[in-house]
Amino acid sequence: MTRIAQIVAVACAAGLLLAFPAAGLAAQTFGSLLKNSPAPGPDPCVDTAPGPCTLVGFINPNDAGDPVSSPAPASGVIVRFRLRTTGAEAVTLRLATVTKQGDTFLAQAVRTGPTVTTQGTDAIEEFPARLAVRQGELLALDAPSARMVYNQGGNEYTPLYGPPLVEGQGPRGQGGITGELLLQAVMEPDVDGDGFGDETQDGCPGQKANQGACDTAGPRISRIALGARRVSYRLSEDAAMTFRMQRLRAGRYRSLRGRFTDKGEAGTNRRSLPRRFRRSRLGPGRYRLLVTGSDQFGNQAQKVKKFRVR
């Protein structure tokens, strides 16, 4: 295979991956395929329960046009969502759970996303988000109308709740059922559970407290000063500190029994020496204090302070 052919093959494979996201660590889409244009017909959000109301996307047609349930395929973070609508209005992304009992759809709101203003041109509109989602949860939308619904052919895919669902409230039966909710979400994994999508929002998926570049450097330890009864030192960041006293014997530093620790903070720190490590308790000779710091990401740094007891 020529070099150009290899590049083309790789590009085609990448395109397929984007079109059909793989499970696991890749981004995934769920909800409507957004193939249809809005065709709301009667507006149950206004006609039966003056808006706004919550529309829950319980069922959507698949590529073959068959009705299938369309919950989140895994847990992660919704990083953007898309919809098609003919209404220029404010809408709010929401997540809900639904339990079907006979003809009743019992729904509960679980989390709320951003509120955005749509242009209502019938084109696919995309908006950024950062909303944690659990496997099996459904996309929902708080809206003053049902103008983002495809409702031809008598298909009833979307239970409707007016007034809107509210987090913390118990299950509630629907006030009506309408067509396909034209709402889709893109979700990414969240390996470290920090609430940021690992592919586009989190620069370091392996460090929960860090969304920028990964921190691989240990804390900077400086200005170690050892007095008769205490030690002081300076840190560039918070760190768990370990101190070990060593004595020079026969040309080698050997650790004395025991060690002590400190919860170091960024800046200057002072720690009293345990009684057995105070100068008055140490015999004449050459010593060194081995100082080790470990930051919140497990990065370590070490410094040595030598001294002499006469």
Each residue's pLDDT tens digit, 239-295: 999 999 999 999 999 999 999 999 999 999 999 999 999 988 999 999 999 999 999
CA 93 → CA 6, 86, 125, 221, 266, distances in Å?
42, 17, 13, 47, 40
Q: Model-level pTM?
A: 0.73
User: Could you give the residue range(s) of every CATH 2.60.120 domain in the chain?
Assistant: 25-188
Per-residue pLDDT tens digits for 84-116: 999 999 999 999 999 999 889 999 999 999 999
Q: What architecture is the 25-188 domain classified under in CATH?
A: Sandwich (2.60)
Q: Under CATH, what is the fold of the domain 221-309?
A: Immunoglobulin-like (2.60.40)
User: Could you give the residue range(s) of every CATH 2.60.40.2550 domain in the chain?
Assistant: 221-309
The confidence score (pLDDT) of residue 66 equals 87
Reading the chain (310 residues) residue by residue, the pLDDT tens digits are 334 334 333 333 333 333 333 334 589 999 999 999 998 666 667 666 667 899 999 999 888 888 888 899 999 999 999 999 999 999 999 999 999 998 899 999 999 999 999 999 999 999 999 999 999 999 999 999 889 999 876 677 999 998 899 999 999 999 888 899 999 999 999 998 999 999 999 988 888 888 888 888 999 999 999 999 999 999 999 999 999 999 999 999 999 999 999 999 999 999 999 999 998 899 999 999 999 999 999 999 999 999 999 8
What value, to the nearest 5°, has the Cα angle with vertex 191 and ends 187 and 195?
60
Cα of 220 vs its chain's centroid, Å: 29
The confidence score (pLDDT) of residue 65 equals 84
Give the list of residues 6+ apart from residue 228 with CB closer than 8 angstroms, or none.
278, 279, 280
